[in-house]
Amino acid sequence: MSELPLVSVIAVCYNHAKYVLETLDSIKNQTYLNLELIIMDDCSTDNSVEVIKNWITKNDYDCQFIAHQKNQGLCKTLNEAVELINGKYTQIIACDDVLIKNKFQIQVDALEKADDSTLLCCSNYSHIDKNSEVIKEYFFKSDFDFPSKTFEAILSGSQGYGIIVHSPTVLLKSSVFYSSNNYPESILQEDLYMWLKITFDHKAIYIDDVLVRYRILSSSLSKAYIYKERMFMDRILVGSLFLKYDISIRRKKVLIEHNNRYLKYFLKEKFKNIDYTKFVLNKISINDYLNINERCDVKLMINKTFKKNIGIKFFIFKVKRSFRCY
């Protein structure tokens, strides 16, 4: 066992009492044996902590368990956890998802055979419901060849192939975290940021197998309206961060197309989350994304949305200047 590279598994729990046992069992039952498990509970309000403690005791499982007394949020919790890892490879999983039993065996083997510039291995996945029944399996098309331009493909959806890097499927080289590549704590799109950060100048590989069951619930954060609204703006914010890099013309074009697409999505949401809209729009240049007619439309929408709100006249003036619509 000692000859196998150590895999660090970070299992993050928040109100997953109904599903956490299935997740932890899927880790314990891996065919790959050299694992360390770090369980993080981010101040669950259900009985998740009790369920986890009972599982650890019942299975006499050697692991680290940290239960927050105050909710920290996902990114801060992840940043705390990565400080504890010792493995060559790292898996992050929410405590309502399920790992296929040979996931690590397959992905470690693939990463060990890859060159040093490869930091990430992902795979196909399936959606499961609250009863752990498979809703749908997601495969890339038969003519799919994992793109050498992964950075661009993540932003564009690889022209119809769908999600290129689905977070629960990912096994990472832990060296990713050694160069201050921690999760940004101010945005919800932490996974998008991380995959772009990694593939900006490193490679990713792909396994053509379903290695994770990703649970979809009606109460999932991604189903909430407020999350979708934040998601659009966060994607724009992440894209804007990379536009500040020293990048090629090709990458700049893809980033601008990405931001333009999500800005248009967000405009349909009518700027309901006013505080966050102000925060993001103050950090980006709309001129990079919209043509002159679209800037006029945005200016009109901002006027209609913000005209009844007090204390933001200076902000409106600043955004109007950004649009330069005359």
What pLDDT score does 307 carry? 54
pLDDT tens profile 53-108: 999 999 999 999 999 999 999 999 999 999 999 999 999 999 999 999 999 999 99
Q: Tell me the domain boundaries of the chain.
A: 7-218, 224-323
Angstrom CA distances, 325 to 201, 284, 320, stand at 37, 16, 7
CATH class of 7-218: alpha beta
CB atoms within 10 A of CB 54: 12
Angstrom CA distances, 250 to 111, 237, 243, 262, stand at 28, 19, 12, 19
pLDDT tens profile 261-310: 887 776 666 556 656 666 666 666 655 655 555 555 555 555 555 554 44
pLDDT tens profile 192-244: 999 999 999 999 999 999 999 999 987 554 444 456 677 777 888 888 889 88
What pLDDT score does 257 carry? 86
User: Which amino acid, one-letter code, is at 10?
Assistant: I
pLDDT tens profile 10-55: 999 999 999 999 999 999 999 999 999 999 999 999 999 999 999 9
SS3 23: helix
Which phi-psi region, left, alpha or beta, contains residue 311 (left: φ > 0; alpha: ψ -120 to 50)?
left
Separation of alpha carbons 124 and 231, rounded Å:
23
pLDDT tens profile 130-177: 999 999 998 887 778 888 889 998 988 754 556 789 999 999 999 999
Give the predicted TM-score (pTM) of the model.
Answer: 0.84
Copy the structure tokens of residue 262. Answer: 């999500």
Copy the structure tokens of residue 61. Answer: 């499982």
CB atoms within 10 A of CB 56: 16
